[in-house]
Amino acid sequence: MQNTSSRRAFRLAAFALAAALVCALALVGFQPSPALAVVSSVKTAEVAPSYPNPITGEIEDPGDPNMVAMAESMMEGVTFPYALVETDVDGNVFVSLRFNLADQENGVTMEASTDGTEYVAAPGEMVASNAEDNTADWRFQVPAGTQYLRSHLGVIPIEREVIYFLTLGNSIDGNSANFTQTVTPGEGAEEPEPAAAAAGEPTESAAEAAEPEPASADDAAPVTGEGADEGIAEYNAEGRDVTGGVDEQPGLDGGTIALVIAIIVAVAAVAGIVVFLAYVRPKRARQAAAAAAAAGTTTPRPTEAPAAPAKAESGADSPDEDAKGEDSRA
């Protein structure tokens, strides 16, 4: 019976502990996490076109496989070698691309990837055109950390879309290629950058860097080396570079830690109360009852009355009898 009660008590304690822990986790989960403030930025990045997939090496365009060299030459001629990368205070990233020979094209759709293996649609629109230079600028919204783009460019002379790839790398601050700019750099920081940067004027840091000169279609060349793998830089709330998918989540603040500790203490207290009520107190009551029962069975018996003095033997003369004898003899 006692073992059964013990098991029941421990099951109740375990249940209470589990329920309290679930409540604690729920309370911690409902704590609002502070939003990460993103500092807006404007950068100019190099663009490296590639007819085959730069990661797998496969050609995804359905064109003539014997015309690869000509197709690669056409991709380099069509693609402007620089792109504008903008990040707003909400963390949205936009990439603006410029395409040469605009009169030979009838639109472009874009897909974006951070690792070059899985691509997602990147919605965009044409934001500017230059009839004299025969160029068209398109702006696409891409995921943060995008490094690879897959372009579906409509080519009028061959009456179909041509699929080729673009790799972003070697970015510098500022809008050095005169793209249409919609983001003001430095927003979200304690001290925003001068408004001149929003108008496309190079900042002091950008002026000190080597500014790429806008190149013509004949000057476009693929990016090689480590720069081609740098992609788009990302920054966290403290302004630290977290490019490459590093996501620094904020730690628990002092109030949340204190709440967690209080919940743990409450859980331990609840478990202790359950054990005391279900096991310790009944056990003590049983022990007290057993002790009382044992005390009742060992009560001492009443003390016996002292025994009466023994009578003198019949042969012995008592003093009275001696006195009577003497009187009679007298």
> 146-155, 185-194, 269-278, 298-307: which range is least confident on average?
298-307
Among the listed residues 170, 72, 54, 58, the one whose alpha carbon sits nearest the alpha carbon of residue 116: 54
Among the listed residues 253, 249, 217, the one whose alpha carbon sits nearest the alpha carbon of residue 236: 249
- pLDDT, one tens digit per residue, over 193-210 is 554 444 444 444 444 444
| Residue 28 to residue 31: CA distance in whole angstroms | 5
Six-digit token pair at 64?
Answer: 């003539």
Residue 145 has pLDDT above 80, yes or no: yes
Among the listed residues 155, 153, 149, 212, the one whose alpha carbon sits nearest the alpha carbon of residue 178: 212
| Residue 91 to residue 86: CA distance in whole angstroms | 10
Cβ neighbour number for residue 203 with a 10 Å cutoff = 18
Parse the chain into domains and list their residue ranges: 2-32+254-291, 41-229
Question: Cα torsion at 286, 292, 294, 296 (round to 10°)?
Answer: -150
Q: What is the pLDDT of residue 150?
A: 97
Among the listed residues 47, 19, 291, the one whose alpha carbon sits nearest the alpha carbon of residue 177: 47
Confidence of residue 132 (pLDDT cuts 50, 70, 90): very high
Residue 114 has pLDDT above 90, yes or no: yes
On whether the CB atoms of residues 113 and 119 are closer than 8 A, the answer is yes
Q: What percent of the chain has pLDDT over 70?
A: 57
- pLDDT, one tens digit per residue, over 232-261 is 655 555 555 555 544 444 555 666 677 778
Cβ neighbour number for residue 241 with a 10 Å cutoff = 10
* Global model pTM greater than 0.75: no
Q: What is the pLDDT of residue 320?
A: 53
Cβ neighbour number for residue 275 with a 10 Å cutoff = 17
By three-state DSSP, how is residue 288 classified?
A: helix
> 37-46, 114-123, 277-286: which range is least confident on average?
277-286
Q: Residue 151: in which H helix or E strand, if any?
A: strand 148-155
Work out the mean pLDDT of the chain and round it to a whole number.
74
Rg from Cα positions in the chain: 48
Residue with tokens 């977290």: 242
**Residues whose CB is less than 8 angstroms from the CB of residue 210 and which lie 6 or more positions away in sequence, other chains included:** 172
Angle between helices 2-29 and 254-275 (to 10 degrees): 160
| Residue 133 to residue 277: CA distance in whole angstroms | 87
Beta-bridged to residue 109, according to DSSP, are 152
CATH fold of 41-229 reads Immunoglobulin-like (2.60.40)
Residue with tokens 């309290």: 20
Residue with tokens 């044409």: 126
Cβ neighbour number for residue 36 with a 10 Å cutoff = 15
Among the listed residues 39, 83, 44, 327, the one whose alpha carbon sits nearest the alpha carbon of residue 206: 44
